[in-house]
Amino acid sequence: MKRIPVILDGDPGHDDAIAWMVAAASHILDIKAVTTVAGNKDIENVTRNTLNVCSLFNIEAPIGKGAHGPLVVEGITAGDFHGETGLDGVDLPPSDMTLSEYSAVELMVKVLEDSHEPVVIIGTGAQTNLATLLLYRQDLKDKIRAFYIMGGGIENGNWTPAAEFNILVDPEAARIVFESGIPVIMSGLDVTEKALVYPEDVNRIREIGTPMGHIVSSWLDFFGETHAAMGYKGWPLHDPCAVLSLIKPDMFEIREAYLQVETKGLHARGGILADFEDKENFNGKVVLNIDREAFIEELIKAVEHFTGREA
Ligand code: BDR
Ligand code: CA
């Protein structure tokens, strides 16, 4: 079967790591590069986590270190949600992988230039690298099939009433991406807050009994504790939705829309507006709903894909 070439860009982060596990376990995707961006933690932490996670999931694609902060404003990080390291919960063996000699954006350019077909970029962090790529190499737009992103929320935010974290970190970058003319398939809070994981789901993952089951359930225990402290009952596993909306679209309700990023709002900076009527300006799709049971089965299948590696 012909596989879809993808670049994974994110800021691991527990849910980024699990999203990349799902991508690595998929027979449909061909991971061409993995790139990092500051967000959940600073760029050094998320890049080290990326090397560890790529070793863990046998992702052999080159890894490019990306932006240490947003295009215009000061960076923010995701506080305690992902712990001190950005990926607390279990000690991973140190990676024997090394970073590419290319930066994140240089690596994206190389992948796009070398590709004979358009590539999908899956973005699960702030969109700083994606925007920089677009600013730097307009000529490569035709080589990008779509952006599948975790970000935004048309009903509500999670960092402010209007804004979701990934968009709020770098709204100017998100605006460049959303206005690029390349389709944006947005898994925002509308769907990711329904992609809930409960303790009994984590137990099922633990009971798989493999080293990977141990690692992923330990991550989810940690992620669950930080969310429980914030009053969550189940915890939203945001980033895997961006991957699964590409490889398992039937699991979701998805609607076309004209999507705009608010960059100037006094109260709503970083918010996303979706217009479902303005057909002429449709520039993407909003993922609105998920079959939660099927989602959990996909996570379990992905964990089961990896059998051997010791924690
Ligand atoms: C997003 O913010 C990050 O903390 C998560 O990794 C996810 O990408 C959710 O708002
Ligand atoms: Ca993320």
Q: What percent of the chain has pLDDT over 70?
A: 99
Q: How many CA atoms lie within 13 A of 27 on its CB side?
A: 3
Q: How confident is the model at residue 308 (pLDDT cuts 50, 70, 90)?
A: low
Active-site residue set:
238
Distance 10 CA to ligand 2 centre (A): 6
Q: Specify which residues 184 forms β-bridges with.
A: 147, 284
pTM of the model: 0.97
Per-residue three-class SS string for the chain: CCCEEEEEEECCCHHHHHHHHHHHHCCCEEEEEEEECCCCCCHHHHHHHHHHHHHHCCCCCCEECCCCCCCCCCCCCCCCCCCCCCCCCCCCCCCCCCCCCCCHHHHHHHHHHHCCCCEEEEECCCCHHHHHHHHHCHHHHHHEEEEEEECCCCCCCCCCCCECHHHHHCHHHHHHHHCCCCCEEEECHHHHCCCEECHHHHHHHHCCCCHHHHHHHHHHHHHHHHHHHCCCCCEECCCHHHHHHHHCHHHEEEEEEEEEECCCCCCCCCEEEEECCCHHHCCEEEEEEECHHHHHHHHHHHHHHCCCCCC
Residue 15: CB within 6 Å of ligand 1?
yes
Ligand closest to Cα of 187 equals 1
R_g over Cα of the chain:
18
> Which of 84-98, 148-162, 287-301 is least confident?
84-98
133-141 average pLDDT score: 98
The domains of the chain are located at 4-251+260-305
Q: How confident is the model at residue 129 (pLDDT cuts 50, 70, 90)?
A: very high
Q: Which of 14, 40, 243 to mutate to test the pocket of ligand 1 (most atoms within 8 A of CB)?
A: 40
Q: In what order do the strands lie in the sheet with 4-10?
A: 63-64, 29-36, 4-10, 119-123, 144-150, 184-187, 284-290, 252-261, 272-275
* CATH for the stretch 4-251+260-305: 3.90.245.10
> CA separation (Å) from 224 to 11, 22, 38, 88, 129?
18, 19, 22, 12, 29
Q: How many CA atoms lie within 13 A of 161 on its CB side?
A: 4
pLDDT tens figures, 220-265: 999 988 888 888 889 999 999 999 999 999 999 999 999 999 999 8
Per-residue burial over 162-177, b = 16 or more CB atoms within 10 Å of its CB, e = otherwise: bbbbbbbbbbbbbbbb
Q: Which amino acid is at 73?
A: V
pLDDT tens figures, 78-100: 877 888 899 999 999 889 999 99
Count the Cβ atoms, other than its own, within 10 Å of residue 293: 10
Residue 193: CB within 6 Å of ligand 1?
no
Distance 150 CA to ligand 1 centre (A): 8
In angstroms, the CA 244 to CA 279 distance is 26
- Average pLDDT of the chain? 95
pLDDT tens figures, 38-77: 999 999 999 999 999 999 999 999 999 999 999 999 999 9
133-140 average pLDDT score: 98
Q: What percent of the chain has pLDDT over 90?
A: 91
For residue 168 the two structure tokens come to: 């709020």
Ligand closest to Cα of 156 equals 1
Residue 13: CB within 6 Å of ligand 1?
yes
For residue 172 the two structure tokens come to: 């100017």
Residue listed under structure tokens 């798989």: 208
Instruction: Say what the pLDDT of residue 80 is.
Output: 77
Distance 176 CA to ligand 2 centre (A): 19
Instruction: Say what the pLDDT of residue 227 is.
Output: 84
265-277 average pLDDT score: 96
Distance 48 CA to ligand 2 centre (A): 15
Which atom of ligand 1 is the closest one to the Cα of 189? 10
* Distance in angstroms between the alpha carbons of the first and the last residue of the chain: 32
Cis peptide leading into residue 13 (ω within 30°):
yes
Q: How confident is the model at residue 309 (pLDDT cuts 50, 70, 90)?
A: very low
155-175 average pLDDT score: 97
In angstroms, the CA 83 to CA 91 distance is 13
